[in-house]
Structure 1
């Protein structure tokens, strides 16, 4: 039998503590989660609390910004760039991207539009760099998004469950311009003075997209707090690593998420 991943084990332990049982379908990937007469197929650590429309909006960086902008929620602009090799492409995507780069003052970030964990995310400062990075992303058969680079020493992650901010922490850069924990960033606390506005912004972002359970990443920029992205699956493996107190926080969070799922 395949050993279960530590984070998945924690999530399932939280479920078991409130009466949920699990039956493996695909090791470390798909399980039947059951309680009394109810059951659902659980993919990875996603409890399926978000509907498919909200899930797909959050999966796209550009779509997330569009929805947040329409709702009046401050967020960092992300513009969608359809893969240049797509049969649906009707414009020169590279020319479009270069024009946007000029609007951003030749300091931008390009990334896969559906990306996660900082993979295939590049800071670019010239047309040559931009084209090279876009060709790389398109070569992976992915669409891209471009955004202005916004300087911020800290990035904040807020986990929202059912309209309430339940857990928050900061991410500080260590040797990279990225704030990804999987790339070496370190976890810290949230300044007390920022808690209220940060929580309010995260709850607004989740509600605007229609997400019940999600994490919201926020930058504190020269223009104030702005949503960077929204994640429709809640991954906290780096947050709880080697820290019993944080693991207890995450455990209680998932207890309540399972209770909500089986209501």
Structure 2
């Protein structure tokens, strides 16, 4: 999808037409200039400019976010920061490798190794061995200056809360693609038979990258459920599902508000995960990306961006 075709660009263009605001799309849709009279506002990526520079930088840094939330008493998934050895002037004298191995040994279920900055679940690795850790670290440092390591958690549910000045605009869960066994077909056969066509390009490459041939060919017992991706990322095939009003939604919104207040962010999407029955913050995104949800509920997405733009032009 071209940047200029994003729902974010469409929503801003529509808002401009309705409110007498000139909208100019630059940099292939990545930079948007909004002008009304002598007032000009800029949007970049998925950022409307409502957040301070510090809040934006902290939200974009997984380790910094976890540090601030922990200091503020907000339950969150810990993320340990490691810098590329090329930045040797800033790396501890004892280096980082032993500390990484220690984290691996402390988490027998595995660790998640990911770029410290960035979204969409790109270059995120589930690691359970020293060779796997070395491979993940080398791949990430090939294109990123830092990485973060968090414990692998058996996430029961992941919920995204889009907040604007502590008011929830969108609340939805991310449902990972899965299959139910029939005692006859393999995991791969079930995936090919049941995955909708529009999900295959996102789900199948992840399956082939993460599972060996034996796992793909193994027959799934009748009635057994198998998730096809350990990640909850929408870009990896998870489906957004609006969360009904109730105890779970209230808990997620309350925790998201605490997290937003802790780092001083106004407009953000906050990912909350349920682990062993308790909720904790996974990460905060200062750019509000809603492409997957917009395919199912475009009117809600337009309303969310409209509310944020009202704040921009207030």
Q: TM-score, normalised by structure 2?
A: 0.78
Residue 180 (structure 1) aligns with: 233
Matched, 1:255 2:306: yes
For residues 163 and 229 of structure 1, the distance between their equivalents in structure 2, rounded to whole angstroms, comes to 16
For residues 36 and 268 of structure 2, the distance between their equivalents in structure 1, rounded to whole angstroms, comes to 23
Are residues 201 and 132 of structure 1, via their aligned partners in 2, closer, same or farther at CA, if it must alter by over 3 Å? same
Residue 91 (structure 2) aligns with: 89
Gaps of 5+ in 2: 178-227
For residues 172 and 309 of structure 2, the distance between their equivalents in structure 1, rounded to whole angstroms, comes to 22
Matched, 1:170 2:173: yes
For residues 173 and 5 of structure 2, the distance between their equivalents in structure 1, rounded to whole angstroms, comes to 25
Residue 137 (structure 1) aligns with: 140
Shift of 1:15: 4.2
Residue 262 (structure 2) aligns with: 208
Deviations 1:48-90 (Å, cap 9, x if unpaired)?
0001101000111100000001111110000101112223223
Q: How many residues align?
A: 259
Task: Give yes or no for contact 1:11–1:45 (8 Å, CA) kept in 2.
Answer: no
Task: Give yes or no for contact 2:115–2:144 (8 Å, CA) kept in 1.
Answer: no
Gaps of 5+ in 1: none
For residues 83 and 14 of structure 1, the distance between their equivalents in structure 2, rounded to whole angstroms, comes to 43
**Larger-Rg structure:** 2
Residue 71 (structure 1) aligns with: 72
Matched, 1:189 2:242: yes
Q: 2:290 aligns with which of 231, 236, 249?
A: 236
The residue matched to 1:64 in structure 2 has which SS? helix
Deviations 1:140-188 (Å, cap 9, x if unpaired)?
2431000011112321000000111111100011210000111111111
Between stretches 176-185 and 103-112, larger displacement belongs to 103-112
Between stretches 82-91 and 10-19, larger displacement belongs to 10-19
Deviations 1:11-42 (Å, cap 9, x if unpaired)?
43234334432123322111211234321222
Deviations 1:183-215 (Å, cap 9, x if unpaired)?
111111325220111100011111111111000
For residues 3 and 161 of structure 2, the distance between their equivalents in structure 1, rounded to whole angstroms, comes to 30
For residues 20 and 41 of structure 1, the distance between their equivalents in structure 2, rounded to whole angstroms, comes to 12
Task: Give yes or no for contact 1:74–1:226 (8 Å, CA) kept in 2.
Answer: yes
Residue 111 (structure 2) aligns with: 108
For residues 3 and 154 of structure 2, the distance between their equivalents in structure 1, rounded to whole angstroms, comes to 41
